[in-house]
Structure formats: C-alpha cells, structure tokens
Structure 1
C-alpha cells in the first residue's frame, strides 16, 4: 500500500465520493501503485463504516457537503490539494440544474486551491451528437455542460468517462428481469447486436484515473472512454447464462416498455423519458458517440476484468431468488 500522510512530497489527491463506487475505485487504484500518494477523501458522514475503513488505510477523511449552499466549506476542503478527482451523482436527486451547479462549484473550488490538474467523470453531449434528435438525456447533457466549464476554467482538465456499470445488473431489477416462465431476460430497448462498454466500476474505473495522474505530463484536454470489455447485448446474456447456470436471454423491447419497467420502480416520468432516448442514442451512435475504448485502455497498470470474470465473482443470489 502506498497511501501515506507522512511523505509530504507525495502528491495530495482530493477525491470526491470517496465512499462511493467511482471515488472508491480511484482510491483502490492509487493504493495499488508503487508511487506514493496522499489522499483526501470527501464524505458527508465520516463516522460511517466505509469512511472509517478508508481512514484506517491512511486516507485523510473530510466531512463536507458538496452543495452550492456550503460554498465556503467546499473551498476549504480542497485547500492544499495537488490534483482533484471530481464526480457528481445525478441519480441521488435527478435534478440536472443542481448537478451542473454543483459540478461547477467543485471545479471552482479545485481551481481556487491551485490544483495542477482536474480529473472529471463526465459524459458526452447527447443532444449535440444527435443533432438535436435526442433532447431528453439530461444526465448526459448536464455532465457535458460541466465538462465544457472545466475545459474553459484554465486548469489542466481531463474527462474520464464512465461506461455502463456491470453492477447495474445486480442492483436494478429493470435491467435483469424474471419472466413468467421462470427464466430471466435482459429486456432492453436496443438491438441484440448493439455493443455496450461494460465496466466493473469498483475494480477498473480507477485504473484510468491513475493512468492520467501517472503520465509524465498531465494530459490536459484529453478524454478517456472507459470499459472493462466491449460486448454485445446478446453476448452479455449468453455469458451470464453460462456463468450462473440460469437461463438468461436478451429480449429486445420497445422504449415505452423499457421505460415502464422503471416507472414501476418509482422513477419519475422525466427520467424514464430520458431512458427511452438514451438507449435509442446507444443504438444509433454508441455510448461514446463512436469513440473507441481501446486507445484509452492502453497503458493501464493492469488488465481490466472481462464481463465473465465479473459475473463469476458476483453474488447473484438476490437477483435469481
């Protein structure tokens, strides 16, 4: 383990969402490095178990609520940092205006701290890429607006985009559903041959951030398109069936059918409308708008996990209960 607070020459990396999936993955990857890092993790509750575990591993844990109303404390939290990893969570509140304002706040605070570089977890501008065809994918377009703001900030800025979480299959019933005959399906509104950049976020996302931080020169202006494995929807179902021993098939459904599954889970209509369009966008343009993932995977500290490796390590007992 190379996390330290004693080696003052080691770069201090401020990590937003330290106890979450993305921030936690960044800390995991930096801890695996043979280079020393000082890490400051942000959380709203430093007493919770995940925060205490990180503290025991040498991470400096700071309690801070990263909202616009708490601007002064947010600025203080970044003081002294050399680099910053920034992420916002649209799904926590499903409010694009709030997400954009908080993303801009994080960039302003990191800039005020004098960081040498910002690594931001962004997404592509679906409305722009589609030529105005898809206008409801607000959680992509909101993050893209923050990206534009960051690139104009004057601080060296890299966008490390997150692919499609493999863990979605474990956490969200609408993505892997039991059928009336007792079998299981991936009932998605894309073609079976559509390729999805699946990523084991906890294990692999941080590798891309580490790659950025360990470049000889911070790669200002670049974007990395992350995945553990690019895999078609039908192949995803086949491998899942093979690994788990359950009959799992891919089932192409309409956008409305796909959205209704989320409505029954309590998602608001504004979000389900976005889900209809985002899969149409995936089908037509690809998750990354046609950008390949292979160049971004080059030079990672270790290989990413295949989907089959993720599936073999995951606990599917609740999904297939």
Structure 2
C-alpha cells in the first residue's frame, strides 16, 4: 500500500515573535507515532541543523521555498495532504511591495493544486481589520493569513483552516514568565487585569487537531472542507492565568500591564485581542466541532503540571 504522505511546513523551529512559533515539529512527531500517515518536512535549507536532526529521525526532508512556487510544486508531488504554515516577514509589506505572507501562502495553495494534493490544512488567523470594522488596520500578518484562507477556500482544493490563540508556550519560548524577587511576573502590553485572552496549548492541541482532520476529511458526513476551526484550550484573563500558575508553582505570580511595544502591527495585535477577549468568543471552549472529531483538549492545570512545573518549579 503506498504511503499516505503529508507534507508539513514549519517543522524546523521558531518562526518569529510571540504568536508565530511553529507547531510543525510537534505535528510530525504525532504523525510518526500514529502511523497512519508519513510526514514529509518541507524546508528552505535541508542542510540546517534542525533539518539534519529530522533526517536523523528517518523523516524525509525536501527543499522548498515558499516564495518560489515552482520549487514547491516539486516538493509537494506525491503528497496526499499539506499542512501550510507561514510566519510574518518583517518589515511587514503589502502584496506587490516585497516578500510577504500573502504571496507565500498563495504559492503554497497553487503549488498544492498543481501537484495533485487532495487536502490542504492552513494555519490561519482572523482578519483584525474586518473583525474591528476598520478600527485596526495595521495587523497585516493576521489580515494576510486571512486572505490566504479565503484564497484557499476558492481554490477547489478540499481544505480546512484553524485559528490559534495566545501560545501558552510563550511562557518559555519568549520569556513571558519572568523571575522576580518573590516569584514570577507575567507582563503583557495593553492588557488590563480583567481583559480576557484565548489561549492555545500549541504542542498539545494543534497536532491532535491536524491528525483528526486528516483522518476524517474523506468522510462527507463530517462536513470538514471549507470550515475554520478555532483551537482554544482556555479563555481567561492573564491575571487569572498568573494566579493559577502561582498556585501550581507554590510562589507568587503577578500580572502587570507592560509598556507598549512601539511597533504598530504588534501593539494593535495586543489591543485587538484585549478588546475582543481573544477574538474567538463565538466558539465554545473546547471547540465542539473538534471534540466531535475526537480531539481531546488539555486543560490549563494539565499544562501547568506537565510543562510549567518542570521548567520553573523549585
């Protein structure tokens, strides 16, 4: 029986600031463990340390540049499905002004279609400009992902997209949980004590979601194609998260409002999340559509016990 190849972008490490680090490596590990599908890592530099590590684990690594569509067509041939992931290219540029995520994402979709891929999963985000009725216009990295999502839906490919909240792993990936004289502090720009955030335990929930979508997309009764799935483990304020963290660690964990970043797209990103309670309030937590597909969501308490205490506990 031929291998059911799933080509995965973003499998070789951190992609950018805050909400943009990749879950591709975790997806590959989950696909390997499950055994139904064979992962293929698509990377720009197959000789990088991270790529060589994947090769050492017996994973096929293929060169493909998101800004070069023709390189992607060859890289994706033979794939049943694709997990598409992009990261912001700073300084952020509009289409036609230089390298950007919109061009990158459209190239992935076009290449997948040309290569004969059956199913495309897109790591997306909502358009903040649309959500805010034009109040926030500088969150280009969200708007461009959303534009790719719409392009994918009109492509004729069977597809699904997912939206992520604030990464719980930012506690250590980006130093969000900082040591103080009495314990720790969580400092976030623009957030007040009562402002809520949608949180995603990326390395737990994203691989589980991707695997569930892959296993169910051929079943028409599941009605997967064209749908967008918010992946949220919890919706609570940063002050509540800090309190739960303190309880788990047995020390004081405070929340403070950090100064503005001084970067328009990033500041507006935080402002919009704070104003709209993490962006995904229309979807129950955990997402019932994903639960129906068999996805099990870890809790905040499980995250603190399994991930935070080993890293920050005494």
| CA distance in 2 between partners of 1:278 and 1:158 (Å) | 24
Distance between the aligned counterparts of 1:197 and 1:84, measured in 2? 26
Residue of structure 1 aligned with 2:130, choices 128, 131, 143: 128
TM-score, normalising length from structure 1?
Answer: 0.81
Offset, 1:82: 1.2
**Pair 1:19 & 2:12 matched:** yes
SS in 1 for 2:260: helix
User: 1: CA distance between counterparts of 2:308 and 2:191?
Assistant: 26
Matched, 1:114 2:152: no
More strand by percentage: 2
In structure 2, the residue matched to 1:184 is 184
From 125, 146, 149, the equivalent of 2:148 is: 146
Q: Give the secondary structure class of the aligned counterpart of 2:51.
A: helix
SS in 2 for 1:82: strand
Q: 1:195 to 1:29 in 2, by over 3 A?
A: farther
In 1, Cα distance between the equivalents of 2:295 and 2:102?
33
Q: CA RMSD in A?
A: 2.7
Whether the 8 Å CA contact 1:96–1:139 is kept in 2: the answer is no
Structure 1 residue 166: Cα displacement: 1.1
Deviation at 1:88, TM superposition (A): 0.2
Distance 1:229 1:186 in 2: 17
1:238 Cα deviation after fit: 0.5
For the residue of structure 2 that corresponds to 1:258, the secondary structure is coil
Q: Which residue of 2 aligns with 1:30?
A: 31
Correspondences of 1:88-237 after superposition (within 5 Å): 88-90=86-88, 93-97=90-94, 98-173=100-175, 175-178=176-179, 183-188=183-188, 189-215=190-216, 216-217=219-220, 219-237=224-242
The alpha carbon displacement at 1:300 in A equals: 5.3
Q: Which residue of 2 aligns with 1:304?
A: 297
Find the aligned partners of 2:266 and 2:91 in 1 and give their Cα distance: 12
Deviation per residue, 1:52-111 (Å, 9 max, x gap)? 4433544321123322xx332221101121111101011x54434411111111111001
The 3-state SS of whatever aligns with 1:286 is coil
TM-score, length basis structure 2: 0.83
1:158–1:317 Cα change, 3 Å: closer
User: How far apart, CA to CA, are the structure 2 residues paired with 1:168 and 1:277?
Assistant: 19
1:124-180 deviation digits (Å, cap 9, x = unpaired) = 01101111011111111111111111111111221111221111121324x33456x
Which one of the candidate residues 275, 288, 298 is aligned to 1:295? 288
Cα distance change of structure 1 residues 96 and 224 upon mapping to structure 2, 3 Å threshold:
farther
Would you say the 8 A contact 1:127–1:137 is kept in 2?
yes
Q: Is the 8 A contact 1:229 1:305 kept in 2?
A: no
For 1:252, the equivalent position in structure 2 comes to 257
Deviation string 1:250-292 (CA, Å, 9 cap, x unpaired) is 2235xxx132xxxxxxxxx5xx222222222122223334331
For 2:10, what is the secondary structure of its paired residue?
coil
- Equivalent positions of 1:77-92 (< 5 A) are 77-90=75-88
**Is the 1:25–1:202 Cα contact (8 Å) retained in structure 2?**
yes
